[in-house]
Amino acid sequence: MKTFVQLILLIDDDPVANFLHTSVFSKVCPSAKVVTAENGARGLDYLVALIHKRTPLPELILLDINMPVMNGWEFLENYRQQNLSSPNTSLYLMLTTPLTQPDLARSATYLEITGYLHKPLTTALISEKFS
C-alpha cells in the first residue's frame, strides 16, 4: 500500500468483515492505523472529533452501503453537508453485490467517491488497488 496511508476508516456494520478487513490492511500496510465504525453516524462522529482535535483525517475511508442507523448514502449526504472531505482522502464504497443502475447513477452524483471495492477485501485486491 502507498506509504502515505497512516489512517484508514472502515465503516461497516459487520463485525466479522471489520475483523477480516482490518487484518488484511495490517498485512498490506502494517504502519497504518485502522479505525472501525459500525454505521455511518459513528463514522461521522469520528471524523468530526478528529476535526475538533485538529488531527489529520483518514487518507482512506471504506464505506459499506447497507447499514442500520445511517446507511452509506445517508453518510455521504452528511459527509458532504458537513464539508468533511479532504483532498488527501480517498473514499471507496464497499459492495457485497454489484451496484444496480439506479445506484450507479446515484453514486455518480458524489464526486467524493473515488471508486468501488467488492467484499470481501483480500490482501491481493488491496495490494493491487493501492500499491
Q: Convert the pLDDT of each residue in 50-67 to its tens digit.
A: 999 999 999 999 999 989
Q: How confident is the model at residue 52, as a pLDDT?
A: 95
| Strand ranges of the sheet holding 113-118, from the earlier edge strand across to the other edge | 33-37, 7-11, 60-64, 90-95, 113-118
Q: How confident is the model at residue 128, as a pLDDT?
A: 86
**Residue 58's closest CA among 83, 28, 91, 81?**
91
Q: How confident is the model at residue 3, as a pLDDT?
A: 53
Q: Is the pTM of this model over 0.85?
A: yes
CA 44/CA 75 separation, integer angstroms: 7
Q: How confident is the model at residue 127, as a pLDDT?
A: 87
pLDDT surpasses 80 at 41: yes
